[in-house]
Structure 1
Amino acid sequence: MIVKMKFINISGPRDDIDRVMDLYLSRYEIQLESALSELKTVENLRPFVEINPYRDALLKAQQYVGYLSEPEKITPDTSMGLDDIFELIRVTNEEYLTFQSRKDVLKRRQEELQAKQKVIEPFRPMDGDLGKILSFKYITCRFGKLPSEQYQKMEKYLMNDLGAIFVKGQQDESSVYGAYFVSPGEAQKVDAVFRSLHFERIEIPPQYKGTPEQACRDLAQQIFDIQREMDDIDKEAARMLGEKAPRLVAARNRLEELAHNFDVRKMAARVADKKEDYYILCGWMADDDVEKFMEEAKDDDKIFIVVEDDHDSYFGEPPTKLENPKIFKPFEMFVRMYGLPAHGEIDPTVFVGITYSFIFGVMFGDVGQGLLLVIVGALIYHFKKAPLAGIIATAGIFSTIFGFMFGSIFGFEDIIKPLWLRPIDHMTTLPFVGKLNTVFIVSVAFGMGIIIIAMILHIVNGLREHDTQGTWFDANGVAGLVFYASVVAVIILFMTGHSMPAGVVLAVMFGLPLLLILFGKPITDRLKKKKAKQEEGAVMFLVQGFFELFETLLSYFSNTLSFVRIGAFAVSHAAMMEVVLMLAGAEEGSPNWVVIVLGNLFVCLMEGLVVGIQVLRLEYYEMFSRFYKGSGRAFDPYTKKNKNKGGA
């Protein structure tokens, strides 16, 4: 069902807006509209221009709560006032920044050591005390790297004639690290040779001690010690935040609420002059909530509430809020996928829930597989609240029911007797047509009934909208209903062997409704005393109307036959399970239970998906298209109901 909405105006002294939001509106659902846009007839309207005073504190609170482990499981301490909350955030921020400052100092020191380690790392294979090597007076030493191919060239052709010694360090895919030693007198010539080999010098500061290996180990130990100190600081900070966790979570929750309430100013307007300065809020509320709100605020002399009666003329269509019984609640998902109903339109949720579940059950009738769908769907819906799981569980109930009707349990049809028939082999003889599968005939008859119901719903919607042409002269209106119901009646009389109505009666039953559909627009214009705009001539009007009428008749036929798929899937389900049992060797008396289990799972998953899609197609194209527009807009409350609110 669609919840009845009312448009209300709320006003009061400008500085009282936060109290009203916190005391009243935070406990009711209200979809706020921009007062500046809606109240165009009110003079001296101005926007609010104020900075949210809770935003910075909220960001800090959210940051610190984010550092907590599983904050959703922490019970908030709601005993704090607003001043306590701000003081908590200030003190926590100071303490946390102190920890971060100590950690930043250590982080910079760690990065310096890592940079030193990166410089000396490639020379780890080399022996020799770095301090002594870098202080040689009579030997010049150059550390660096050269490309691998140049190193091979040097080693093969130049090493014996260089007058220098090259000590190799680490090697990667592209470079060889190392150092060459040369006498100071030969240094200039050797440097030139190594430059020609693309040798890239690496300056080694004189602060390293011991061999490169020892220097790296020493640096690694220092880096590890610093990291341990940083971890200890993190533990201290976590311990500090943990001790304050209940208060931090409560502060975050309260600040979120206050910041959200303060931002209501974006939707509000100010009316300011020399005498007074007050706010105006306007929006949609459920009828029941409006009554409770007005009763609660009746003795408050600082708040003024006005309920608009003529909201359709000034504020447009109300938003749509659906409220259905729990068993039908999941089916609202299908309605939302198509489009929410307008406020005066019929909510098709219950209709969808009944017809979808019923048709699914017929197309997928099996006791065992139906119970499997019920159990799995119910469990997922219970723990995850997924609407599709709720739909599967409800449809599974009807699958189980029709499993008993068809006498099928996990594909076995010799365990229980069918309460009705077996879809795959039950036939019915019809006049003129001959033998047909019974479920096909019943499916078409059921489709006829569904189409008639959809037409009736279309008429009801037309009456609600005061749509004369749609109600009386549309293909799905009264004229279309009379024609289609007459065709159905004649078919039933013929198939059951009863006598037909007289030719004149048939002509009136079939001809008059079609003429009304053809000339529906001109008749409507005449009834409303509205002058019709004839853009095309009478001949073109008749030609266009003839083809539209032909298309309508064709759609009646095709839409009706579309319901044959219900029986087709009922038969195909039984046929697929026969194949599974045949592959498992069930006919021989010793079935392979692994094949039966896997086959049932495969059919349950694959055919269940296909059937679900096909039933949804019937809902949208054969039913919704006849009576439902889905042009409504969703109710989007600025505030959520919070009747157990605590805090400041």
Structure 2
Amino acid sequence: MAIEPMREVFVFCLDEKVSDLLKRVQLEGCLHVEDFWEAHGVEKFYGVKRPEVPQELMKLTDVLTRLARIEESLRRIHEEVRSTGLLDALKPMFKAERPETVEFELKPTEEIVEDANEFLEELESEAGEKLKRLNELKDELERLEEACSFLEYVEEDFNVSHLGEGPRVVARLYTVRADSWDDLVQELDGEPAYVGKVGETEDGDPIAVIAFPKGSGIESEIRRLGAMEEEVVNEVLEDREGSVQSVREELAEEIEEVKDELERTKHELAEFYEERGTEIRAWVELLENERELFDVLPKLAMTDRTYLIYGWVPEEEVGRFKEVVKEATDGLCEIVVHEPSDLENMPVRLRNPRFIQPFETLVEMFSLPKPTEIDPTPIVAIFFPIYFGFILTDAAYGAILTALAAAIRMGAGRVDESIRKFSEILLYAGIVTIILGALTGGYFGNLLGIKPLWVDPMKDPITILIVALGFGVLHVGIGLMLGMYVSLRKQRDMRSFMLDYLCWFLILLGGLLLAVAYKTGGIYTPLGYAGIAIAGLGFVLVLAGHKLLGVLDTIGFMGDILSYSRLLAGCLSTAGIALVVNLLAKMVEGLGVVGYVIAGIILIGGHLFNMAMNGLGAFVHSLRLHYVEFFSKFYEGGGKPFEPLELKGEHVEIRA
């Protein structure tokens, strides 16, 4: 339940050692490189300058761009050829394998670029020609299909041998706008030109053969009069003979031949990608990591012979960081480590127990805490599954969700960190749903007829409402106490403590005492008077801090508590829809065998729909209660994430 402590570091090293140093630091993955010029500039360190980007970056970028383009083309072809159905696409979620990796030696950038260029040349010789041929076939297929489609609207007995370009005359196919046809014929009448209608498009525009002397300049006049040349069709039909019908048959055969060659080429490239894909992706990842090192350079500062690297290192990794720096620079360096000079600039990395870590994702979706704030992840880890289960409230749905989450966790969750965290969130939420479903008697609604261990929400919604509002009071109260702690201990702001947090906590506490007094002995009891006094003191503080707007703020504060009634609404929604599904299924059971089949379809489809929609609603509303009602009481967010310079990619490994 903490933000990991960081240390501000300055590393000075010789210019010939900076490349080796950055590579080793990247392998270690513990240094968040800060932009020196944004953080300090020349005012604090006079005499330094911004490094220039070396020439090697242009060579690296060129090789990376060409290699990535080939990889993307091959990958798309492979996905197209090996496209599978929905079930096959879902298999990796439940049965995932760790990606294959390629190991590289730690080398200078120049050598890596040379090796990558050699690999690229080899790749282009093996796959480049086939990719080029594939593009040619696609273009040819598009041309043939366009011509064949166009000829459907041309008279079948028209002889295409009349088309083409001779020594003196040019004859081509044109599409003419219907409203321009008469003008075209009239204008060209008497000119050294021939216009003959040979068909009509689907829109009713005439298709014409127009012949004119070569180099006569009439072509521009033809375009002006609304005729558009069918350039692709004319190119395809050039040097062909016979009627339109025979040419269309000829084109159809050519189209099939091109399609066959296109499919063969795709399969050959897909097989090639299966054999070499991992190696290609590994080279792309390696070059991308090298480029990231160049992206870091403008953040550094330098003199004539030295470089200055400024950044942040987690406190517990400072010792190892110093060892790596000294090893990479042969001891020719100076490392300065000290406490953060300004906490607001410190990057944030959360540190929580293993079982709480998945819920860090939900906090990060909102915003990381500032270094001066409290990490709310442990509170989210407690209340989010409860609210989720409260809304879904069906033990059978919870069991299905738990089994599904466990399967994903054992599948893709083993190799993908984000999927692991998400599946564990669903796993915890599913377990709580089972418990709350058993307490409220929800097993596919009332399908199994099992009595609740506590209360039936459809028969006693008031009890559920009281519990929901009780969670609201508890949740908001915790938020206010955390806000008081932050303002008093971390920010040392007594005014904020009194007028932004304590006032609302007193109103909440006083209201709670009044509610208890009303249910036990009446408002006019010592407990009730205490509640009135505490709530009154809180309201006075609200008016002192917020003036007359405090009245509206008080109404809004009460709305925050009432917002937790959405837990009741979700609970009733799940139970109510399940009840309707079961009722519809029972109504059709009397139709015999067909009725049982229909009832089965209704039960399966209805409960899947109910579980999916209310499961989504449970997730969204549980987040909303945290983001709006809870976080607004103490949490602002806006922390800068700790993003270390590290090796990225699934397929690349570097041996130091």
In the alignment, which of 454, 473, 478 is matched to residue 420 of structure 1? 454
Q: Counterparts of 1:80 and 1:278 in 2: how far apart (Å)?
A: 23
Counterpart of 1:636 (choices 617, 630, 643) is 643
Alpha-carbon separation, structure 2, partners of 1:548 and 1:167: 83
Structure 1 residues 137-536: aligned runs within 5 Å:
171-173=199-201, 174-175=205-206, 249-272=281-304, 277-298=305-326, 300-312=330-342, 316-325=344-353, 327-379=355-407, 382-383=411-412, 385-386=418-419, 390-412=424-446, 415-426=449-460, 437-469=462-494, 472-477=497-502, 479-497=503-521, 500-501=525-526, 509-519=534-544
**CA 1:259 to 1:610, structure 2 compared with 1: closer, same or farther past 3 Å?**
closer
Q: Tell me by how many angstroms 1:20 deviates.
A: 0.1
Which region of structure 1 is more displaced relative to structure 2, 228-237 or 350-359? 228-237
Name the aligned partner's letter for residue 438 of structure 1: T
Sort the Cα spacing of 1:236 and 1:608 in 2 relative to 1 into closer, same or farther, 3 A: closer
Picking from 54, 61, 65, the partner of 1:55 is 61
Maintained 8 Å contact 1:482/1:513:
yes
Residue number in structure 1 paired with 2:49 = 46
Structure 1 window deviating more from structure 2 (339-348 vs 635-644): it is: 635-644
**Residue 637 of structure 2: SS of its match in structure 1?**
coil
Contact 1:130–1:212, Cα closer than 8 Å, also in 2:
no
> TM-score scaled by structure 1?
0.71
Residue type matched to 2:376 in 1? P
Calculate percent identity across the aligned residue pairs.
23
The 8 Å contact of residues 374 and 396 in structure 1, kept in 2 or not, is answered as yes
Following the alignment from structure 2 to structure 1, what is the Cα–Cα distance between the partners of residues 429 and 569? 18
- Once the two structures are TM-superposed, the CA of residue 600 in structure 1 deviates from its matched residue by 1.8
Partner deviation per Cα, 1:238-264 (whole Å, 9 max, x = no partner):
999999777655543433322321332
In the alignment, the residues of structure 2 paired with residue 457 and residue 266 of structure 1 have an alpha-carbon distance, to the nearest angstrom, of: 40
Query: In the alignment, which residue of structure 2 is the partner of 1:618?
Result: 625
What one-letter code is carried by the residue in structure 1 that aligns with 2:339? Answer: D
Unaligned runs of 5+ in 2: 80-97, 183-189, 212-224
* Structure 2 residue aligned with 1:594: 601
CA contact (8 A) 1:28 1:641 kept: no
Tell me how far apart the structure 2 counterparts of residues 578 and 563 of structure 1 sit (CA, whole Å).
24
Range moving further from structure 2, 226-235 or 250-259 = 226-235
RMSD: 5.5
Output the CA distance in 2 between the equivalents of 1:502 and 1:229. Answer: 88
2:635 matched to 1:603?
no
Q: Judging changes above 3 Å, is the alpha-carbon distance between structure 1 residues 92 and 231 closer, same or farther for their aligned structure 2 residues?
A: farther
Q: Deviations over 1:459-489 (max 9, x none)?
A: 2222333343356413522x44344324323
The alpha-carbon distance between structure 1 residues 176 and 601, as it changes in their structure 2 partners (threshold 3 A), is closer
Equivalent-residue separation in structure 1 for 2:14 and 2:334 (angstroms): 10
Report the residue type matching 2:578 in the other structure. Answer: M
Distance 2:527 2:272 in 1: 93
Letter in 1 for 2:102: P
1:255 alignment partner AA: L
Identify if the C-alpha distance between structure 1 residues 594 and 221 changes in structure 2 by more than 3 Å, giving closer, same or farther. closer
- SS state at 1:613 partner: helix
Query: Does structure 2 conserve the Cα–Cα contact (< 8 Å) formed by 1:406 and 1:421?
Result: yes
Matches of 1:326 and 1:401, distance apart in 2: 23
Aligned to 1:192: none
Rounded to whole Å, the distance in 2 between the matches of 1:621 and 1:167 is 74
In the superposition, the TM-score normalised over structure 2's length comes to 0.70
Task: Check 1:310–1:167 CA distance in 2 against 1; reply closer, same or farther (3 A cut).
Answer: closer
CA contact (8 A) 2:130 2:269 kept: no
More divergent stretch after superposition (453-462 vs 598-607): 598-607
In structure 1, runs of 5+ residues without a counterpart are: 154-161, 181-196, 428-436, 521-543
Cα distance in structure 2, aligned partners of 1:642 and 1:216 = 51
- CA–CA distance in 1 between the matches of 2:469 and 2:119? 74
Q: Distance in 1 between matches of 2:12 and 2:454?
A: 66
Equivalences, count: 575
SS in 2 for 1:585: helix
Per-residue deviation at 1:231? 11
Q: Is the 8 A contact 2:3 2:349 kept in 1?
A: yes
**577-586 vs 242-251, which deviates more?**
242-251
Contact (CA 8 Å) 1:270, 1:278: kept in 2 or not?
Answer: yes
For 2:610 and 2:131, the matched residues in 1 are separated by 63
Asked if the contact 1:5/1:287 (under 8 Å) is kept, the reply is: yes
Q: Contact (CA 8 Å) 2:301, 2:308: kept in 1 or not? A: yes
Q: Distance in 2 between matches of 1:605 and 1:330?
A: 22
In structure 2, how many angstroms separate the alpha carbons of the residues matched to 1:448 and 1:86? 65
Larger radius of gyration: 1
Q: What residue in structure 2 maps to residue 189 of structure 1? A: none
Residue 219 of structure 2 aligns with which residue?
none
Mean Cα displacement is larger for which, 222-231 or 619-628? 222-231
- 2:104 is matched by which residue type in structure 1? T
1:646 alignment partner in structure 2: 654
